[in-house]
Amino acid sequence: MTFKEKIDCLRFAFALCNKFDKSIYPVAVLKWLCNAIVPLIPTFFSAKIVDELVGARDVKVLIIYGVFMAVLIAVFEFFRHLTDRAMEDKLELLHIYEGKVFEESIVNKDYELLEDVDFQTAVKAYKVVYQNNYGIFYNMWFFFGNFITGMLSLLFSLILVGPSIIKCFEIDNSSFLTSYKPLVILAVSVVFIGFIMILIGNKYSKIMNGLTLKFNTLFGIFSYWYNFPLKYQNGKEIRIYNAQEAILKKRNESLNDLYMWDKKSFDSQAKYTSILMVFQMIIMGMFYLFVAIKAYAGMFGIGSFVLFLGASLQIAEGINLIGNISTILGMSTQHISYLKRIVETPQRKHIGTLPVEKRNDNRYDIEFKNVSFKYPGTDEYILKNFNARLEIGQHMAVVGKNGSGKTTFIKLLCRLYDVTDGEITLNGINIKKYDLKEYMSLLSVVFQDFQLFSVPLAQNVTTSLEYDKEKLYDCFDKAGIKDRVEQMHDKENSVIYKDFDENGIEISGGEAQKLALARALYKDAPFVILDEPTSALDPISEFEIYQRFNSFVGDKTAIYISHRLSSCRFCNNILVFDDGRIVQQGSHDELVQNTDGKYYQLWTAQSQYYI
């Protein structure tokens, strides 16, 4: 990451902090001030007390120094603890807040980003940071805490020893010890060593970043295997296919990899912190030598001697903290970059503004005009020069073998993806121009991989907390699941699955499909699309469900998709897909007569299984 990118990451994180809680700044500043001042108080007063003891030995003055020292330490320690606690609370809340920012960003992103590999990589990396590193803010504030506390320690220590240093300039060049030369040597050496410490910190930062990235990946793999047997949905396959041993082996291997990598990070951390500590000791040693020389030459009183010793410790520590900054900055900005990437990834889709005309007669015509499409990041066209018209009230079927582009056609229709070339129009206007949410409200789709959620049935079907109970039961009825719901202990309020509720209901695959159909009916949109949600059923059941569903659809425009031709026989208008194109169109009777056509070929191939 370049320096500018790091700054951009910090800017991004501060903008989030500002939005959430600006009061973190005064709390942090007070905490850093206390951290820098507290260790210097006893140093300062010890020097004063020593001076008094070897000087006037006035008991009153000694008591005053003692009392002042105690009071100041108590006050600053009090504020230090208070601000420590307040800071912890604020970081906790910030952690919750960034989780919210992440989730809001994910649910509002274009669907196609959820299938994008790079975006998914950032999401996975951020999830590890969120769970494993207390999110982005903890490290960032740690970084600033170290940096500013280090600076303040340095500054206050220099102020404390300032008068003694000034004394060194009362030039007495009679000997090397009393001249200003030792001070110059000290200053030049400290700056030089401080510079080396920053360089070492920088190298350490790069190594740590690499180690952390790999650690995060390994942690993701370990989490997967750790959670695998805990998910009850995996329980059946694990037992039936006797996968216990393989899973535990995978889990142990991933834990071992994680442990080895963690150890490597710790070793590396220990190595670099030891090196930095040695340099810190060298700085302290130089200060001690300087003070000893000056005291020996009679330039420092014993008080200044004590003061210098105490302050030199803080100066060396301050330099060490500053030396560490590039490491923490590198790690912190790396973590921030994941969330920044997720939040700032622009929406790919054009979000239109045109309202969709509300029509009671549902006169909405959709037309695909010369549409071609390839998935982002791929070269192969899935649909090529595709033309189709969905007329009001039409009940249409789309058939074709797996992989011929049927679902892709529906994804484009729903604007989950936008076309690569050509256009799709609604009542003659490009669908990109319509307000996306309004446009989507026209469509009700049940996909093959539809999802039900671990919430009450009613919320699953209505996707809302408030709903029309009568309409809900009407939809249960039409979907053929009303009796089953009425038998459940909490009726429509029964929670499905056991993720959150131990009384959660396990439903069969067929029941899940019926609930998904009820959801499509409840939305009451002018277009309803069934994209093989029943493909796991036998052909006769699929045919029955499609036909039954069709009887409730009324004057809505309906599209039925299946790779099984028998399921869609009842439709007068059947589109036959092959390799991303419509190769035939017509009713079953018309299509089956063309013995050279794709439909006939598929029909004869499939019908032998039904006879």
CB-nearer residue toward ligand ADP: 111 or 497: 111
Interface size with ligand ADP, residues (CB under 6 A) = 12
CB-nearer residue toward ligand ADP: 285 or 403: 403
Beta carbon of residue 593, minimum distance to ligand ADP (angstroms, whole number) = 24
CB atoms under 10 Å from CB of 171, counted, come to 9
CB-nearer residue toward ligand ADP: 303 or 400: 400
Beta carbon of residue 581, minimum distance to ligand ADP (angstroms, whole number) = 12
535 burial (CB, 10 Å; 0-12 / 13-18 / 19+) is middle
CB-nearer residue toward ligand ADP: 133 or 407: 407
State how far the Cα of 528 lies from the Cα of 521, in Å rounded to an integer: 8
Find out whether 397 and 573 touch, Cβ atoms under 8 Å: yes
Share of the chain residues as helix, strand and coil, in percent rounded to the nearest 5: 65, 10, 25
Q: What part of residues 90-119 is at the interface with ligand ADP (CB under 6 A)? A: 115
Find out whether 397 and 447 touch, Cβ atoms under 8 Å: no
Matching residue, tokens 């060490």: 320
Does 120 participate in binding ligand ADP (rule CB under 6 A)? no
Beta carbon of residue 108, minimum distance to ligand ADP (angstroms, whole number) = 20
Find out whether 524 and 369 touch, Cβ atoms under 8 Å: no
Q: What part of residues 356-415 is at the interface with ligand ADP (CB under 6 A)? A: 375, 378, 382, 400, 402-408
State how far the Cα of 179 lies from the Cα of 171, in Å rounded to an integer: 6
Beta carbon of residue 598, minimum distance to ligand ADP (angstroms, whole number) = 13
Find out whether 433 and 426 touch, Cβ atoms under 8 Å: no
CB-nearer residue toward ligand ADP: 168 or 416: 416
Q: Who's near 5: CB < 8 A, 6+ residues apart?
A: 333, 337
Q: What part of residues 408-467 is at the interface with ligand ADP (CB under 6 A)? A: 408
Beta carbon of residue 367, minimum distance to ligand ADP (angstroms, whole number) = 20
| CA–centroid distance for 415 within its chain | 25
State how far the Cα of 535 lies from the Cα of 436, in Å rounded to an integer: 29
CB-nearer residue toward ligand ADP: 381 or 473: 381
If you ran DSSP here, which 8-state letter would residue 249 be given? H
CB-nearer residue toward ligand ADP: 109 or 406: 406
CB-nearer residue toward ligand ADP: 414 or 495: 414
Beta carbon of residue 347, minimum distance to ligand ADP (angstroms, whole number) = 17
In the chain, the N- to C-terminal Cα span, in Å, equals 65
Beta carbon of residue 397, minimum distance to ligand ADP (angstroms, whole number) = 13
Beta carbon of residue 380, minimum distance to ligand ADP (angstroms, whole number) = 8
Beta carbon of residue 528, minimum distance to ligand ADP (angstroms, whole number) = 17
Find out whether 286 and 187 touch, Cβ atoms under 8 Å: no
CB-nearer residue toward ligand ADP: 26 or 403: 403
- Which amino acid type is present at position 48? K
The greatest distance separating any two alpha carbons of the chain, rounded to the nearest whole angstrom, comes to 121
Q: Closest Cα partner for 604 from 590, 589, 588, 592?
A: 592
Beta carbon of residue 408, minimum distance to ligand ADP (angstroms, whole number) = 3
The crossing angle, in degrees rounded to 10, of helices 539-553 and 469-479 is: 140
CB-nearer residue toward ligand ADP: 139 or 404: 404
Q: Binding string, 321-360, against ligand ADP, x = CB under 6 A?
A: ----------------------------------------
- Which amino acid type is present at position 411? K
| CA–centroid distance for 171 within its chain | 62
State how far the Cα of 242 lies from the Cα of 147, in Å rounded to an integer: 55
Binding positions for ligand ADP, rule: CB under 6 A: 115, 375, 378, 382, 400, 402-408
